[in-house]
Amino acid sequence: MATPLVGLYPGSFDPITNGHTDVIKRAAKICDRLVVGVAINTGKDPMFTIEERVEIVKEEILAHGHGIEAKVEVLAFRGLLMHYAREVGARIIVRGLRAVTDFDYEFQMTGMNARLDPDIETVFLMASEKHQFISSRLVKEVGILGGDVRPFVSSRVAEHLVKRIAEREAARGE
Ligand code: PNS
């Protein structure tokens, strides 16, 4: 019997968008097991804690149904992605690719990761047309500036975002 194909889909997921969920669903069709790796150290100042980001991703997967939750596991990771990929037995890293602007960053990261561990391939899933322009960073910006984030994230994530933005504003006395 062929070895099961384990994929690792890493990211900051701060928070998970409809684009991420689409990649998870599609990657789950390709892999026998998919680990969604939520990076503890993002190099950015995340809006949600690592526990919250993991929990919100789990909520999304359960809400989507289609039985993908049987194949998909959501775990936090720290340190080098390629070390973690080995740890979970991943043979492929899955990344979503949107507009050409993603290319340079992804190209550098893939090249570096291939040097670190040439046995693990990075595969890209092109973002579906309606998700081309969604990014967690822009969704947060839209939310902070009072725009409607519901076209880009699920209603659950939108609620988490609105709540967090209000908490942050209250803490700053705005
Ligand atoms: O969703 P993001 O922010 O684009 O995801 C970036 C992520 C988490 C995949 C990337 O920063 C990463 O792999 N971090 C782990 C640390 C690491 O391995 N860095 C070297 C990358 S070449």
Q: Any idea where the domains of the chain sit in the sequence? A: 6-132
Indicate if the pLDDT at residue 43 is higher than 90: no
Indicate if the pLDDT at residue 101 is higher than 90: no
Rounded to a whole number, what is the largest CA-CA distance in the chain?
61
* Average pLDDT of span 73-86: 98
How many A from CA of 78 to the centre of ligand 1? Answer: 10
**pLDDT confidence of residue 64:** 79
Residue 39 beta carbon below 6 angstroms from any ligand 1 atom: yes
Whether 143 and 135 have beta carbons less than 8 Å apart is answered as no
Indicate if the pLDDT at residue 114 is higher than 80: yes
**pLDDT confidence of residue 136:** 96
Taking the C-alpha atoms of residue 92 and residue 171, their distance in angstroms, rounded to an integer, is 42
Residue 17 beta carbon below 6 angstroms from any ligand 1 atom: no
Taking the C-alpha atoms of residue 138 and residue 106, their distance in angstroms, rounded to an integer, is 18
Q: Which of 8, 9, 12, 108 to mutate to test the pocket of ligand 1 (most atoms within 8 A of CB)?
A: 12
CATH superfamily of 6-132: HUPs (3.40.50.620)
* Average pLDDT of span 19-30: 96
Sheet holding 92-97, edge to edge: 72-77, 33-39, 6-11, 92-97, 121-126
Is residue 2 very low, low, confident or very high in pLDDT (cuts 50, 70, 90)?
A: confident
Indicate if the pLDDT at residue 54 is higher than 90: yes
Helix (H) / strand (E) containing 170: helix 155-171
Residue 112 beta carbon below 6 angstroms from any ligand 1 atom: yes
Indicate if the pLDDT at residue 127 is higher than 90: yes
The overall average pLDDT reported for the chain is 95
Indicate if the pLDDT at residue 65 is higher than 80: no
Task: Enter the pTM of the model.
Answer: 0.96
**pLDDT confidence of residue 42:** 79
* Average pLDDT of span 129-133: 92
How many A from CA of 98 to the centre of ligand 1? Answer: 16
**pLDDT confidence of residue 100:** 82
Taking the C-alpha atoms of residue 5 and residue 26, their distance in angstroms, rounded to an integer, is 14
How many A from CA of 107 to the centre of ligand 1? Answer: 12
